[in-house]
Structure 1
């Protein structure tokens, strides 16, 4: 039986990004059930002139199984490793569930499940996919998660093609049955110049390599920043960038203009700002929200920026689920970026509570979510004069109650969706609201600001 490769369970990588936000707009339905010409947000009509309909695209929890299931999951702890490192590790989970996984041992009596699991071990063998190279043989306690298994990197070939790794598990409850799971491990040569960054599947964090001449020294980073208006505030203003750094932010995330051929107006000013980033010790989160569907433009920007010493990660789609972008657009952009630059993760932000989560999330290594509940009526849009519910309306906080806890609930929901899909768990970053008095927000709604 084959289980899908998956990341560590129940781990959150948190970052803080204050945000500017759209004001009551919507994309014409392209992946939804919307009638032709009806403007939508999260697949739902939001104007009083349009009727409600089922937007589709919702994930549903898997049905309960009558028999126990083994949810065998494996993923590299780090998203990339370098050939200068001698050891990697895999995160292995082998939980007994009744929702996801493969049918567990038919001869096992689930009526005594708890007592019979005590002291039971699963035997693991980890090899390359062709089974010619054994990387580890070990045991883990049955019905456990987040087991870290070290494996050697010596002898593995570095390159941009990921190594396929096979995990084989046997249980004393059915010794004649073998369970399998496959994952991939990316082993790269050290970057020729510039930085590198990688995500951590065990703790959900982010680590950076700042010195390519010492390619075994990784440092953790906790991202703290906000979306900054490039054209309206930072362009041609070194003093504003210095003031930004003086407030303790560690990531610079400028928002580009809508022209994909000139996202920063002219490159000289932007290049000067990137030079200043290095002097200030800030990291760059490079935004391609308006050009990410143009793969030629994406590749050109990546080639221009990827060797910067303070590049941290790429940012592609901004609320593609809200706009109703093509379902494969984020993944296509991520694939283009990884081809040009495998050393930095890709991120995007989702706005909807439950609208085609799987396809959109597939385009990111780090997933952001931006529900904005403060000063907001989450059940009725005063901007559009319509109610907001599962099939209608845009109140700026899809599926929300209208309280700050909506942010934490959304992150919990996303983690639950990943479990339903048996998908690789991604670091999740919250985008708290730091503005008010705009669009859907009735009040000031400000709990933090920088000026």
Structure 2
């Protein structure tokens, strides 16, 4: 199948640990391609086994020039993936995009839509380039168009008039040329859905990151995974869903198994009646059974409260890069219901590129609080938070940066990404303590700064302090209010924001299309230190003086300024700064 990386060649380099591949007992399990010892398993030579496993379970390294490699076929689809003969490969991701990425913005388009838009990023130049697009039959949908590249995403509109609506996606060829002599520099492919109008439809904004629901809301998804058997299915379903909405959640991911089909219908019906609470329907235990996937998509696809189909939960954990069933389930879902997006969550640091073509929304979960990376009663330090060091201000950026590097290399950097965060502890396994509210809040905002457009967390009902639960409710409300800004403005490239000093200070910026409004979020992730900081925003240097409101402390707003792109401020330990700027002097209003 043609995709933006239809010539994708994953080269797999084997870890240089021969005992892992040939001599470990069957009781030794693997997670993210690395071995661990399940609890309650006993071996004759347990100390030697532990030493061998732990040696191979640290940050894996490989030599990109190694001759010991196994390649995949050039067409990246489940039927043609040639898997390596070992459980411990690290995928080497080649540069297929050459810095050029393109996708379509508010998909799927409907027959009532007249205009579409192509979103383009180019990271290897800051000059003007020419882009054009055509269907696989040669029909031109975007004539040669000059666009100016400054590392941020650029939107290019085009007419849908010559694209006949149908249920199957079009393969679109997107070509990039030099502006002066018209030399072709890169070609990529992307899927375009132009569907007949009728069924309930959920669209993805691949420029700003929002989700357009079938009830015409634009949302930044915030909500928990919910225990079905232990909570949601007990008592009155409608009352339970109303409780979740009252806690300021706009999405839930019910964690199966479900009691029965009747319960699922009641759940959707109640959510439809309430409104504003959307459901991510999970196939996490059944995605390998494509007939069940087919039947259930057909049964539930017409509910207004359906937001996404959740294909799998951490398929890369046990299966590593051997989960071809994920691709098969995705193909079934898109064939039966191209009107809703599919989603999945990954747990491993090196797996994003492998699974990027099996989902519309790519999530990852990072659970770093309270872990012991040297010893675990169950996981020997390799499960649950792959390659984590137990510091979320390091672990979230590290996972994200690896994902972004790999996704950019294969031309999928514009895929919408959600983060699943920790709101639990489990002293019987790996997580010795629960995160504090300050840690939860910092994790949420650091994730937003790193470009995640949805926040979910494991899981409800929370095993947390009562005060922490209350504060999560307030935090969810604040994120919802901020989403009015974040989902209507372009998030700036991290390279456009320079922080000094940058010691545990994180900052993200969003700017409106007319450059009249700017949102700045700053996190001081120092647990003990008050920090003075200076931030330079490249996009604002030419705009002169901007007036702003410091909304860090609700009820105590104050005026702030950006002059010639420079903002100076300070934050207390673990404090989150929220600043909104414009060309006019601000009116003090209710804190967001």
Q: Secondary structure at the match of 2:107?
A: coil
Are the aligned partners of 1:328 and 1:359 in contact in 2 as well (CA < 8 Å)?
A: no
In structure 2, what is the Cα distance between the partners aligned to 1:420 and 1:373? 27
Matches within 5 A, 1:267-286: 267-281=261-275, 282-286=277-281
Cα contact 2:202–2:214 (8 A) shared by 1: yes
Say which of 358, 374, 385 aligns to 1:363: 358
CA displacement at 1:152 relative to structure 2: 0.4
Q: Which residue of 2 aligns with 1:247?
A: 247
C-alpha distance in structure 2 between counterparts of 1:142 and 1:255, whole Å: 43
Q: Which residue of 2 aligns with 1:150?
A: 157
CA distances 1:257-304 after superposition (whole Å, capped 9, x unpaired): 2xxxxxx22222332222211222211110111001110111111111
Gap runs ≥5 in structure 2: 6-19, 38-45, 61-86, 441-459, 463-592
- Are 2:203 and 2:213, in contact at CA under 8 Å, matched by a contact in 1? yes
Asked whether the equivalents of residues 330 and 362 of structure 1 are also in contact (C-alpha less than 8 Å), the reply is no
Map 1:400-411; keep pairs closer than 5 Å.
Answer: 400-405=388-393, 406-411=395-400
Question: Shift of residue 237 of structure 1?
Answer: 1.9
Q: Summarize the Cα distance change of 1:329–1:143 in structure 2 as closer, same or farther, 3 Å threshold.
A: same
Distance 2:319 2:186 in 1: 39
Residue-by-residue CA offset, 1:183-236 (whole Å, 9 max, x unaligned): 2311001233xx3212222122222232xxxxxxx4311111111111111114
Cα deviation, residue 164, structure 1:
2.9
Cα 1:144–1:231 change in 2 (3 A) is closer
Q: Which residue of structure 1 aligns with residue 128 of structure 2?
A: 121
Query: How many Å apart are 1:373 and its aligned residue?
Result: 0.9
Distance in 1, Cα, partners of 2:344 & 2:385: 17
Q: Give TM-score, length-normalised by structure 1.
A: 0.75
Q: 1:179 to 1:352 in 2, by over 3 A?
A: closer
- Alpha carbons of 1:333 and 1:61: their partners in 2 closer, same or farther (altered >3 Å)? closer
Query: Aligned pair 1:89/2:117, yes or no?
Result: yes
Aligned positions, number? 376
Deviation of residue 440 (structure 1)? 0.3
Q: Aligned-residue CA RMSD in angstroms?
A: 2.9
Alignment correspondent of 1:5:
4
**Superposed CA offset, 1:110-138 (max 9, x none):** xxxxxxx7xx5323333333334453332
Residue number among 105, 109, 131 corresponding to 1:77 in the alignment: 105
Map 1:54-65 onto structure 2 (within 5 A). 56-60=88-92
Equivalent pair of 1:4/1:422 in contact (CA under 8 Å): no
Question: Aligned with 1:196: secondary structure?
Answer: coil
Q: Which among 371, 377, 380 is matched to residue 383 of structure 1?
A: 377
The structure with higher relative contact order (CA 8 Å, sep 6+) is: 1
1:430 — aligned with what?
A: 419
Asked if the contact 2:4–2:190 (Cα under 8 Å) also holds between the matched residues in 1, the reply is yes
Q: Is 1:314 aligned with 2:300?
A: no
Gap runs ≥5 in structure 1: 7-31, 98-116, 211-217, 258-263
Are the structure 2 counterparts of residues 33 and 368 from structure 1 closer, same or farther at C-alpha, using a change threshold of 3 Å?
Answer: farther
User: Partners in 1 of 2:33 and 2:201 — Cα distance?
Assistant: 37
Q: Quickly say closer, same or farther: Cα 1:219–1:137, change in 2 above 3 A.
A: farther
- Does residue 344 in structure 1 map to residue 340 in structure 2? yes
| Structure (1/2) with the larger helix percentage | 2
For 2:172, which of 165, 170, 174 is the aligned residue?
A: 165
User: Which of the residues 204, 225, 228 maps onto 2:226?
Assistant: 228
